[in-house]
Chains A and B, each alone.
Chain A
Amino acid sequence: MRQIAVGMYLLLILLLTGCSAAAELVPRPGRLEIVERINRADLVVVGVVEAEQTVRAGHRNETSESMPLQLMKVNIRVEGLIKGSYSAEQLAFLYFRATGAWDGPAPNLLAPGERDIFYLIREGDLLRATNDVYSSHTEVVTGRHNVQPEVSDARVRETITRLLLLPGDGLDVTRYVASLYIEASNAIDIVGKSRTADILRSLLRNSDSRIRGRACILLAEPPLNERGCLENLLRDAQISSEDRERATALSRRP
């Protein structure tokens, strides 16, 4: 009985200190490119959103009184650690989001069930997103991957790029192919054109014609400008009419 009472007391202390720490968090609204998020993060994980709840509503941003903010807590199921140290399978972090009418770059919105790469910083005992209000995570549409924690920045970048570009388990091909323009652009920002082209070239051997077709188009388009695959692609009877049309146009370029 006494052990239970002590346990409850400790839990209460933990909850109170946690709430108190959360109450002191200062919003950091801002937009960060993926590379900046990677560099700033103490912890980078890939995981699935399990739940999200409001910790505190009606917070006003010091830099803009007209921007009402809400402190949110997100619970995720960790599928892989990419940077930093963390051992549990569950993780919770905090972020501020704007609640009013919005017109601009993507705000920080999450939905239970979605798989994302999260870039987190430690503040006391809490974890919070690298930036508030604007998007601070990267959605992964390639399915599930096995990843290992990496030490060097270069390996962290490589792991994230592979997560974004290479098919994993449970892939939704339609969604993946539709997202490749965005992900290839992200990859160029993260690891550069040469490495992005290497990874796209590996997709030319994929058994799915939709993936082969889109990978070749992305290689042939500026800024990569590698048109070597177009000839084979145009001989591929399985590619979509959309990819064929684009490949034909690209192959006619001087």
Chain B
Amino acid sequence: MTDYADQRYYGVGSGRFNTPDPSTGVRMAAPSTWNRYAYVHGDPINFHDPGGLNEASPDGYCAAEYTYEECFGVGIGGGGGGGGGGGSFVGRGPDPNWQTGAQVKKNVDAWDALILAALVAGQARQQDEPGFRYVRELRVVDDCLKRQALGGSAVRRRTYQAVDQFGDPYAAAGLTISEHVHVQSGELTGLDSTWHVNNYGMFQDVLTKGAGPDTTEFQQFTASNVSGLNSFGSVSVMVYDPANPNGPYFGTLGITLRQHDVFINGSDGKIGGKPRYCDTPDM
């Protein structure tokens, strides 16, 4: 039994499309587009395809496998420059926290190379192995200011939980989350951290200006599971931040570290202008 789904036929019994996607959007840098029998790159939770030829996100975010140019447009730069409280991150318009040019191109190319490996190990397996799980998103489960200052500066701590495609915590022992950082201005102690998630899939990222200058940076996360049935290579993951007024989904976090505030995607994390101090310990 088949249903016609506007542009192609869907096998109800098999749960698969029987004819390939007629759209021409195959991109080498986006391996999930290679599978012409998939629907919205195998991520129906975050994307939909009302016309049958393109995916569109209900939240307007840009899939991480797109290049910067595809996602935000070519030659659009600067904007607010991540000035804390600055531009919107919603939709496919230019992201004001990224700048165009060689620096971004280099980062994006490296990013795409990571994602290339993900398809074969990840999304293709998702089609063929019913038990396969992958990290759909990093959910912000706590966002607070620590009572301890560093060099007199505010310290913000975000607790993330890796969540699989079913919405459950992803807590595999072999799961690591890596942070890829591009410092646009100022300076940062240490770069590109890696975390092992805890037994409930959680990890914490701590941010502060410390005694250094004001700093603006951009951050992206990848997930990698090195062991077990659900092993996969380095895959880019979105951040789901339900409390962010410009959110909730972000592929790139634009961060500004200042003396009294840490802005993440335009939000200082305060509620009604008042800081919420951390009431849980560091991991």
- Asked whether A and B interact, the reply is yes
Residues of A within 8 A of B (CB): 64, 66-68, 97-107, 109-111, 135, 138-141, 174-175, 178-179, 181-186, 188-189, 221-223
Complex Cα–Cα for A150 and B203 (A): 31
CB of B15 within 8 Å of the partner chain: no
List of B residues within 8 angstroms of A185 by Cβ: 198-200, 202, 283
CB of B242 within 8 Å of the partner chain: no
Complex Cα–Cα for A229 and B137 (A): 30
Q: Give residues 175-207 of B contacting A (CB, 8 Å).
A: 179, 181, 186-190, 193, 195, 198-200, 202-207
Contact B189 A100 (CB under 8 A): yes
Residue of A99, A102, A104 with most chain B CB atoms under a 10 A cut-off: A102
* 13 examples of A-B residue contacts, CB within 8 angstroms: A64-B190, A99-B211, A100-B187, A102-B189, A103-B257, A105-B206, A106-B283, A109-B155, A111-B147, A178-B280, A181-B200, A182-B198, A184-B200
Closest Cβ of chain A to B220, distance in Å, is: 12
Closest Cβ of chain B to A151, distance in Å, is: 27
List of B residues within 8 angstroms of A223 by Cβ: 171, 199
Complex Cα–Cα for A183 and B200 (A): 11
Which single member of B168, B199, B202, B282 contacts A139 (CB below 8 Å)?
Answer: B282
Contact A101 B193 (CB under 8 A): no
Complex Cα–Cα for A68 and B187 (A): 11
> Can you list, as one digit per residue, whether each of B34-51 has a CB less than 8 Å from chain A (1) or not (0)?
000000000000000000
Closest to B215 in A: A101
Contact A103 B217 (CB under 8 A): yes
Given A66-B189, A139-B282, A179-B281, do A99 and B151 touch, yes or no (CB 8 Å)? yes
Closest Cβ of chain B to A212, distance in Å, is: 19
Contact A101 B257 (CB under 8 A): yes
Closest Cβ of chain B to A179, distance in Å, is: 4
Main secondary structure of the interface of A (DSSP, over half): mixed
CB of B169 within 8 Å of the partner chain: yes
Complex Cα–Cα for A174 and B279 (A): 9
Size of interface on B: residues with Cβ below 8 Å to A: 44
List of B residues within 8 angstroms of A189 by Cβ: 198-199
CB of B2 within 8 Å of the partner chain: no
Contact B199 A101 (CB under 8 A): no
Given A141-B281, A175-B279, A185-B198, do A104 and B179 touch, yes or no (CB 8 Å)? yes
List of A residues within 8 angstroms of B169 by Cβ: 221-222
Given A189-B199, A221-B200, do A104 and B155 touch, yes or no (CB 8 Å)? no
Contact B212 A101 (CB under 8 A): yes
Given A101-B257, A221-B200, do A106 and B282 touch, yes or no (CB 8 Å)? yes
List of A residues within 8 angstroms of B138 by Cβ: none
> Can you list, as one digit per residue, whether each of B259-283 has a CB less than 8 Å from chain A (1) or not (0)?
0000000000000000000011111
List of B residues within 8 angstroms of A110 by Cβ: 148
Which single member of B189, B203, B213, B281 contacts A67 (CB below 8 Å)?
Answer: B189
Given A103-B193, A109-B155, A111-B148, do A141 and B280 touch, yes or no (CB 8 Å)? yes
CB of B208 within 8 Å of the partner chain: yes
Closest to B168 in A: A222
Given A179-B281, A188-B199, do A99 and B171 touch, yes or no (CB 8 Å)? no
CB of B136 within 8 Å of the partner chain: no
Contact B189 A98 (CB under 8 A): yes
List of A residues within 8 angstroms of B187 by Cβ: 66, 100-101
CB of B91 within 8 Å of the partner chain: no
Contact A182 B279 (CB under 8 A): no
Q: Give residues 121-172 of B contacting A (CB, 8 Å).
A: 146-148, 150-151, 155, 157, 168-169, 171
